[in-house]
């Protein structure tokens, strides 16, 4: 189970890192743009990218929480089977 969770964390980190580069590029473009109209269009693109990242992270965290709820809260104990 720990291996499964570590793999999920690794996937999340690589996905978030790849998406952050899009955000970084958009931020650089916003800083370099000189017209107000260009800045506004880039800011709307940035909002959509951040919304995508947020939705994906929320969905993945919900899936992890649901999977964790399915795990038993106590360990197997042979003494309980003898009764």
Alpha-carbon distance values, 2 to 5, 9, 29, 32 (Å): 5, 10, 41, 44
pLDDT of residue 13: 61
Q: How confident is the model at residue 59 (pLDDT cuts 50, 70, 90)?
A: very high
User: Quick one: the chain helix, strand, coil %, rounded to 5?
Assistant: 85, 0, 15
Q: Which pLDDT belongs to residue 55? A: 92
Query: 2-51: per-residue pLDDT in tens?
Result: 565 566 656 666 666 555 678 888 888 888 889 999 989 989 998 998 89
- Give the three-state DSSP class for 18: helix
pLDDT at position 80 is 63
- Reported pTM: 0.58
């Amino acid at each position: 189970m720990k291996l499964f969770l570590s793999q999920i964390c690794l996937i999340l980190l690589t996905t978030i890192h790849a998406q952050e580069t899009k955000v970084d590029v958009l931020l650089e473009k916003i800083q370099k743009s000189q017209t107000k109209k260009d800045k506004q269009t880039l800011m709307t693109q940035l909002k959509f990218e951040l919304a995508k990242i947020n939705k994906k992270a929320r969905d993945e965290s919900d899936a992890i929480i649901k999977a964790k709820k399915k795990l038993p809260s106590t360990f197997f104990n042979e003494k309980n089977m003898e009764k």
